[in-house]
Amino acid sequence: MSMDPLMSAISQINSPENPMDVVRSIADLRDRVGDWKAKGLKVGLVPTMGALHEGHLSLVRRLAQDVDRVIVSIFVNPAQFGPQEDFAAYPRQEALDCLRLQGTPADLVYAPAADVMYPPGFLTSVRVGRITDDLEGAVRPGHFDGVATVVLKLFTQSGCDAAIFGEKDYQQLVMIRHMVRNLDLPVEILGGAIVREADGLAASSRNVYLSAPQRKIAGKLNVILADLRAKALAGAGAGADLGALEQMGTRALIDAGFDRVDYVSFRDAQSLETITTLNAPARLLAVARLGPTRLLDNLAI
């Protein structure tokens, strides 16, 4: 009888058949990277919390175009979850993740345990100012401090030359660009385009939480945002009322069946400051909830 794919994947982890090379300590990671750098190779990092989907795999492929070796880190970072959030329930499936990375240009998986990342006595926290205060920062206090701290640690642990972050978490990407600039980190930051399912829903590890009826509604988020963007652009010459469009978007999301809307907001694409007119590259960002699941999406304008 053939083995269930999940069981088969689990039995392969850390066995000679594991399709991926996995390291768990900072020393082992640095050894590998040191060998590569000694040969003059450029090393890139794709930071993830695992539960890999097509969006993550597209980041691996994109980064591999710019670097010689790609590390994928898998670490469900406790510091970026609030006390009421889904840290315990967050999907953990390292064996399957390694199978998914097979056939991508990933060279190494770095999967540290929590006490490698945060040993006893760990006290430091990185905070990137203003840009993290609103949008996700307002709904998830402390979230971005946890992300900035772990990302900075991943950079210093790996010594990577470049790293890539998905545009789905647009505020996170902007924050990391600021952190790198502000702290003079020698890491080139790339943004990876959002990968969408057939109906436009942005790929996310949290999509697995959606029931079948919720999944149907979820696909409308992108459609409503695209409609708002079209309306904003159509009115741009005459000075579109972006505040009114944000309210219209919120109502449309509730009418479409979402349980709650955290925000629909037009922002400057680089500073993330609120805008009232479209006269520079902008971003339309939104979060709508279905039950406890928060769905993030954004569009370039």
Binding residues for ligand PAF, per CB under 6 A?
47-49, 77, 80, 147, 150-151, 169, 172
Q: Is 53 marked within a binding site?
A: yes
Q: Is 172 marked within a binding site?
A: yes
Q: Round to whole Å and give the CA distance between 193 and 112.
A: 27
Min dist. Cβ of residue 154 to ligand PAF (A) = 8
Q: Which residue do the tokens 């010459």 mark? A: 237
Min dist. Cβ of residue 18 to ligand PAF (A) = 22
Q: Is 246 marked within a binding site?
A: no
Angle at 278 between CA 275 and CA 282, to 5 degrees: 70
Is 56 catalytic? The answer is yes
Min dist. Cβ of residue 80 to ligand PAF (A) = 6
Residue (96 or 224) nearer to ligand PAF, CB? 96
Burial class (CB in 10 A: 0-12, 13-18, 19+), 84: exposed
Residue (73 or 222) nearer to ligand PAF, CB? 73
C-alpha closest to that of 270 among 260, 257, 280: 280
Min dist. Cβ of residue 153 to ligand PAF (A) = 10
Q: Is 50 marked within a binding site?
A: yes
Among the listed residues 33, 48, 56, 189, the single catalytic one is: 56
Residue (117 or 290) nearer to ligand PAF, CB? 117
C-alpha closest to that of 202 among 172, 222, 217, 216: 222
Residue (195 or 245) nearer to ligand PAF, CB? 195
Q: Is 15 marked within a binding site?
A: no
The annotation places the binding site for (R)-pantoate at 80, 172
The annotation places the binding site for beta-alanine at 80
Active site residues: 56
The annotation places the binding site at 49-56, 80, 166-169, 172, 195, 203-206
